[in-house]
């Protein structure tokens, strides 16, 4: 009896540690980082040195981007775009990444498409272009990117517009739902 009580007590004690220790360590680390940063610049007002450090770092980032990163990146892009096969791979990957996380997010129109007119099977994706006339594709069709589940790849399909149903949900949530295989809730 006492052995069973002791085992239960030990189990609850360990569960308590699992709850308390991460919180305690997090607060301790934040406190130590705060006091360390606050002591770097000798001001009498608590927290001022942290503000100075944060804004100074941001200023260095701005200067570094304007004077170093942007010119070097531009030079690199011009050099890469002169190499035929490398240009195709590099620009495709760059455009794909910027479509997800860049300033020009292109996966902003989530849709559900019916796979065929006969079947009641649907797939989630994103309209990437509505006008495909420059490819010689007739009006009434759109380019729809269909990401794969459990993977960051997908396929591009040309779909009749009447098989496309817009979804009223945030694009990032739809992407998480697709990539998770439908496990994540929107």
**46-73 pLDDT, tens per residue?**
777 778 778 878 888 888 878 887 788 8
Torsion of CA 109, 112, 116, 120, to 10 degrees: -170
Q: What percentage of the chain exceeds 70 in pLDDT?
A: 90
Contacts of 140 (CB under 8 A, 6+ apart): 160, 161, 162
pTM: 0.48
* 153-182 pLDDT, tens digit each: 777 878 888 889 888 888 878 887 787 777
Tokens for 49, please give them. Answer: 């040195």
Task: Write down the residue that tokens 């980082």 correspond to.
Answer: 33
* 16-54 pLDDT, tens digit each: 877 788 788 888 888 888 788 777 777 677 777 778 778
Confidence label for 100 from pLDDT (cuts 50, 70 and 90):
low
> For position 81, what pLDDT does the model report?
84
What is the SS3 assignment for 123? Answer: strand
User: How far from chain centre, in Å, is Cα 106?
Assistant: 13
Contacts of 164 (CB under 8 A, 6+ apart): 111, 112, 113, 127, 142, 144
Quote the CA–CA distance of 96 and 81 in Å, as a whole number: 16
């Amino acid at each position: 009896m006492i052995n069973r009580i002791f085992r239960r007590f030990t189990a609850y004690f360990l569960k308590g540690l699992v709850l308390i220790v991460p919180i305690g360590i997090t607060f301790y680390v934040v406190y130590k980082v705060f006091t360390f940063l606050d002591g770097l610049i000798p001001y009498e007002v608590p927290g001022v040195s942290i503000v100075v450090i944060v804004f100074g770092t941001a200023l260095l980032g701005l200067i570094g981007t304007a004077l170093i990163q942007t010119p070097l990146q531009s030079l690199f892009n011009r050099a890469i775009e002169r190499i035929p096969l490398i240009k195709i791979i590099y620009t495709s990957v760059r455009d794909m990444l910027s479509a997800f996380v860049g300033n020009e997010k292109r996966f902003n129109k989530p849709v559900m498409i019916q796979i065929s007119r006969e079947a009641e099977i649907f797939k989630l994706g994103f309209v990437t272009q509505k006008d495909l006339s420059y490819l010689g594709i007739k009006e009434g069709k759109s380019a729809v990117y269909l990401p794969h589940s459990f993977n960051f790849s997908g396929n591009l399909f040309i779909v009749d517009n009447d098989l496309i149903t817009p979804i009223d949900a945030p694009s990032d949530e739809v992407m998480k739902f697709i990539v998770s295989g439908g496990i994540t809730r929107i």
